[in-house]
Amino acid sequence: MSTTNIDHAEVMTELRAKQQQVWSSGDYNRIAALTVAVNETLVTSAQVAPGEHVLDVATGTGHAALAAARVGARVTGIDYVPELIEIGRQRAAAERLDVDFVEAAAEQLPFVDGSFDAAISAIGVMFAADHDRAAAELVRVVRPGGRIAVASWTRSGFVGGILGIVGRHVAPPPGAQSPVRWGEEDVVAELLGGGVERVGSSVHTVTQRFSSAEAFADLFLTYYGPTRSAAQRLDDTSRATLRADLVSHAEVNARPGGTGLVTDWEYRIVLATRR
């Protein structure tokens, strides 16, 4: 292995550890609840069928894994945050669904080549430290003729705006790539490479409601790893500015009229077939 490759591996290992700490902070379960519809739409778009062996990468608290299990698929969900995996296990047990949850990183899937009929990821693999490696792993573990389906926030959408605001207040760590790259079909096609064919995508929105723009900002500053971690690195004045920017972002993107705050969050589902 060349010195360059060793250096890259070290950077990615350090970045992955930092990101794991970010996603372990706060209480992502409070935020993950907002993505239920995204996960269910992904499973439908991926045409998950009874009896298929499906891998949910970066499963978080298990929304996509459980949605796939409900249609009769044999499901494995992986994530590198043990606390989230445990919530997924508890949810599966409560619904009496047979889902195998495994602690692992998206870039290091502990499965042999061609193990699954489909690999899916809802608002998950887009946050991997090493995009190229995570994409290669998605392709590797799916059998020829199987499907890969990922749902990711778009750069121009509401959550893309949140991540952009965070990046303006706190610089990303060395080696980090923008997660919203995964919200662009051509980028995902390039990441997946020659191991797939028939790449296509569709854009969707999920509607979110909050009592106010301030309530939205406080929820994300308290419970969402990226915004919570960024806020903790700022002094009081800068933290207040970050909050004000999040409030303004919500107000600018709110639907007019009505009660409370109503926003539409855009995401893209990219589908591909393993060669």
Q: 150 forms bridges with which residues in the sheet?
A: 121, 270
**Token output for 40:** 């269910």
Model pLDDT, residue 1: 56
- CA dist 156 and 249 (Å) reads 12
Give the model confidence (pLDDT) of 171-208 as tens digits. Answer: 998 889 999 999 999 999 999 999 999 999 999 999 99
**Span 119-135, average pLDDT:** 97
Instruction: Please check whether residue 148 is in contact with residue 142, taking contact to mean a CB–CB distance below 8 angstroms.
Output: yes
Kindly report the CATH number that applies to the domain delimited by 3-154+172-204+269-274.
Answer: 3.40.50.150
Is residue 78 within 8 A of residue 104, CB to CB? The reply is yes
Distance between CA atoms of 95 and 35, rounded to whole angstroms? 19
| pLDDT score of 7 | 78
Predicted confidence at residue 8, as pLDDT, reads 83
Burial of 273 (0-12, 13-18, 19+ CB in 10 A): middle
243 membership: H or E segment, kind and range: helix 236-252
Q: Tell me: pLDDT of 3 over 90.
A: no
Confidence of residue 2 (pLDDT cuts 50, 70, 90): low
In tens, the pLDDT along 104-115 reads 999 999 999 999
**Helix or strand run (H / E) with residue 203:** strand 196-210
- What is the per-residue pLDDT for 18? 84
The stretch 162-168 carries a mean pLDDT of 96
What's the confidence (pLDDT) of residue 25? Answer: 84
pLDDT average, residue stretch 43-64: 98
Rounded average pLDDT over 131-148: 98
pLDDT interval class at 48 (50, 70, 90): very high
Contact 32, 63 (CB under 8 A): yes
Query: Is residue 121 within 8 Å of 128, Cβ to Cβ?
Result: no
Burial 79-101 (b: 16+ CB within 10 A, else e): bbbeebbebbbebbeeeebebeb
Percent of the chain with pLDDT over 90: 88
CA distances from 132 to 48, 80, 108, 114, 179 (A): 25, 18, 12, 18, 12
The pLDDT of 207-212, averaged and rounded, is 97
